[in-house]
Amino acid sequence: GQQLNQSPQSMFIQEGEDVSMNCTSSSIFNTWLWYKQDPGEGPVLLIALYKAGELTSNGRLTAQFGITRKDSFLNISASIPSDVGIYFCAGQPDSNYQLIWGAGTKLIIKP
Partner 1 sequence: GAGVSQSPSNKVTEKGKDVELRCDPISGHTALYWYRQSLGQGLEFLIYFQGNSAPDKSGLPSDRFSAERTGGSVSTLTIQRTQQEDSAVYLCAGRGRNTGELFFGEGSRLTVL
Residues that bind partner 1 (CB under 8 A): 31, 33, 40-45, 48, 50, 88, 90, 92, 95, 98-99, 101-104
> 43 vs 66, which CB is nearer to partner 1?
43
Which DSSP category does 30 fall into? S
Report, in angstroms and rounded to the nearest whole number, the Rg of the chain calculated over CA atoms. Answer: 13
Strand partners, 88: 35
Q: For residue 57, give the nearest of 43, 73, 41 by alpha carbon.
A: 73
> 79 vs 91, which CB is nearer to partner 1?
91
> 14 vs 96, which CB is nearer to partner 1?
96
